[in-house]
Amino acid sequence: MTRIKISRLASIASLAAFSGCATAPERAAAPELTVPATWTAAAASNRAAPQAWLEDFNQPGLKALVEEALQKNADLRIAAARLSQSAAEARIAGADLMPSANLGLGGRRQQISTFGPQSTGGVRFENYDLNLNVSWEIDLWGQLRDRTSAALARLEASQAEFMAARLSLAAQV
């Protein structure tokens, strides 16, 4: 290499190396926050809506209309199907925590013909099988428990969605 190329490479390398030596700017001080000495939160209401809220209207015709709407609404049927699907998924996820066993029974009967080039005189074979398989996955890292709790949370969400759909439909009548 020529002397000019070496000096160019050295200057480019030193320029690249020194460009990373910049200092960071100073941080601005965090503003002072005024926090009240006492703080009160509104009391959370854990009460569910009354089940017989429709009775408060004291109108039998309205109750009949609401019942008919609840029975014939397709969206509510879809929400009910999702609820039963979530319940089935929760049962399946819970079953993964338990051991599983499979039992199999089989039989086979075979008879070889007496006719043919190598006749054996009509020999009959009978084979019977009985199989038992037992397995259990040890939940060492908590994956199965987490899957079960997630399925239960989805079930609770589906229940809430179903109840909200019922309430919304009844309110629209």
H-run or E-run covering 103: strand 100-111
State the chain's mean pLDDT as an integer.
Answer: 84
Quote the pTM value: 0.54
* Predicted local distance difference test score (pLDDT) of residue 149: 93
Q: Are 108 and 80 in contact (CB under 8 A)?
A: no
In residues, how long is the chain?
173
* Cβ count within 10 A of residue 135: 8
Position 48 pLDDT exceeds 80:
no
Q: Are 138 and 30 in contact (CB under 8 A)?
A: no
Partnered with residue 128 across adjacent β-strands are 107
Position 90 pLDDT exceeds 90:
yes
Partnered with residue 107 across adjacent β-strands are 128
DSSP 73: -
Q: Is residue 59 very low, low, confident or very high in pLDDT (cuts 50, 70, 90)?
A: confident
Q: Is residue 25 very low, low, confident or very high in pLDDT (cuts 50, 70, 90)?
A: confident
Cα separation, 132 vs 137, in Å, equals: 17
The candidate with the shortest Cα–Cα distance to 104, out of 128, 127, 126, is: 128
Q: What is the mean pLDDT of residues 98-126?
A: 81
- In this predicted model, what pLDDT tens digit does every residue of 69-88 receive, in sequence order? 889 999 999 999 999 999 99
Q: What's the one-letter identity of residue 123?
A: V
Q: What is the mean pLDDT of residues 98-108?
A: 94
Q: What percentage of the chain carries pLDDT values higher than 70?
A: 85
